[in-house]
Amino acid sequence: MTTVVVPRKALEAALDPAEAKYLTGAVVDYVNEIQRVGVYSGRELPAVAIQAYHADFYLAQVNNGGHSQFIGNTGIAMLQTTSGDAVAGLKAMGASAQHQILQEMIAWVEAHPGEAALQNGFENRAAELNALDTRFYEAERLKPMTPLAARWIANWPELRAVAKEQYASEIERLAQLNPHLSQRRIWLGVRQISYQMTDRLELTVAAACGAVMPDPELNLMILPGFDMDVEGEPCRAFGIKTNKGSRLCVFDEAGGRLYELATRSPLVGARLSTVGADTIRNFSRIAEQNFAAEAIDLLLRKSGLDPAAMITALNVSDDRAAWYAVTGNTCVLIETLSDRANMIGSDGKAALIVTRAEIERHAAEAAVGRDSLQIRA
């Protein structure tokens, strides 16, 4: 990829230093959008775009919680790459003081890897990083990064400014230049569904929603967890959104329990379902055995539906599992078997069938997309 697309108004706004944030923000939006729509890896985009993107991330993180937060939110695994991009961007835009400070942070991390791994911007904050924060804020007061970045970006030969109305179509045009686009889109869809069938919390919630009797509830969203007492015992509970409203799911080694969420204390209402660890393991086993994620993704695509679906696990046997897939405002019932997968219509009969051979070909396409991303990352 050799082009960076931004709205023309964002480029025009950058002529005023006070409005520079619109151009730097437009580059951040471009990187996010082209990776979402075109499924490009960061290393396949113009280097300057990734440098500006990570320099802006560095600025935002340090302004919000200091260098400690920047390290914690980046993660040690990605810190060298992200910091390296930001350093290159700071140098190119002429932010010399901030460039020096970030280099010193990198040196500190290399000299103190154990302490660096503990940084989170809150209770774990190294004194040396706090000192870098103070210098950084002074550098920003004297010569802020954003106007420098906007001036640099405005002169990129890679930059293409388009009317706001043309932006989405231009992003899609660039996406179509990706030779692996189809396989990567399949991989992303399969991975999103597969995660819900392999992550223990996700699958426990999906099964607990599916176990509600007499009418299963549709799993729509899992919210952050917290510790609380449930039925007289300390538990880890997660907020859940279903088609029936707000719920709580207790998650532990024994499995999961779904409860109504009361409007006042105590928060826990009636228990709606219980699902055991053995059932959850069976769902996971059949999902893997029958390529359930690939089958569901394929059926949704063949039906013209968005494959970005939330999964509810209904029931499972020795060689079969049934699932609800909610995508947009549509809910479909799918059963995955050893030799096929069926999308069940309102009459209870198979409205669409894909064979095991079709499912395996779809899985192979997803693998091509996955491998292309790994090779080029």
- List, for residues 326-361, the tens digit of each pLDDT value: 999 999 999 999 999 999 998 999 999 999 999 999
CA pair distance 361, 365, nearest whole angstrom = 6
CB 175 within 8 A of CB 30: no
Which 3-state string (H, E, C) describes 155-170?
Answer: CCCCEEEECHHHHHHH
Cα 61 to Cα 65, 66, 68, 70, distances in angstroms: 6, 6, 9, 5
CA pair distance 72, 3, nearest whole angstrom = 31
Is 302 among the domain residues? no
Q: At 135, which CATH number? A: 1.20.1420.60
Encode pLDDT of 251-272 as tens digits.
999 999 999 998 776 788 999 9
Is 174 among the domain residues? yes
CA pair distance 313, 192, nearest whole angstrom = 15
* pLDDT (mean) for 78-98: 98
Look up the domain containing 88 and give its range.
4-178
Average pLDDT, the chain: 96
Using alpha carbons, select from 105, 180, 209 the residue that is nearest to residue 372.
Answer: 180
- CA 360 to chain CA centroid, nearest Å: 26
Residue 376 has pLDDT above 90, yes or no: no
* pLDDT (mean) for 172-191: 97
Per the structure, the count of domains in the chain is 1
Is 37 among the domain residues? yes
Check residues 374 and 176 and name the one with the higher pLDDT.
176
Weakest-pLDDT range from 72-76, 121-125, 199-203: 121-125
Residue 231 has pLDDT above 50, yes or no: yes
Q: Which two tokens stand for residue 353?
A: 């069938």
Residue with tokens 């059949």: 286
Is 281 among the domain residues? no
Encode pLDDT of 120-172 as tens digits.
998 889 999 999 999 999 999 999 999 999 999 999 999 999 999 999 999 99
Using alpha carbons, select from 97, 87, 12, 94 the residue that is nearest to residue 57.
Answer: 87
Classify 120 as helix, strand or coil.
Answer: coil
Residue 371 has pLDDT above 90, yes or no: yes
CA pair distance 264, 260, nearest whole angstrom = 12
Residue 180: pLDDT band with limits 50, 70, 90: very high
* pLDDT at residue 377, rounded to an integer: 36
H/E run at residue 55: helix 47-74
Encode pLDDT of 294-308 as tens digits.
999 999 999 999 999
CB 299 within 8 A of CB 270: no
CA pair distance 59, 137, nearest whole angstrom = 10
Cβ neighbours around 213 below 10 Å, total: 7
Is 146 among the domain residues? yes
Residue 101 has pLDDT above 50, yes or no: yes
Is 114 among the domain residues? yes
Contacts 24+ apart (CB under 8 A), 83-86: 83/54, 83/58, 85/50, 85/51, 85/53, 85/54, 85/55, 86/51, 86/54, 86/55, 86/57, 86/58
Is 189 among the domain residues? no
Is 10 among the domain residues? yes
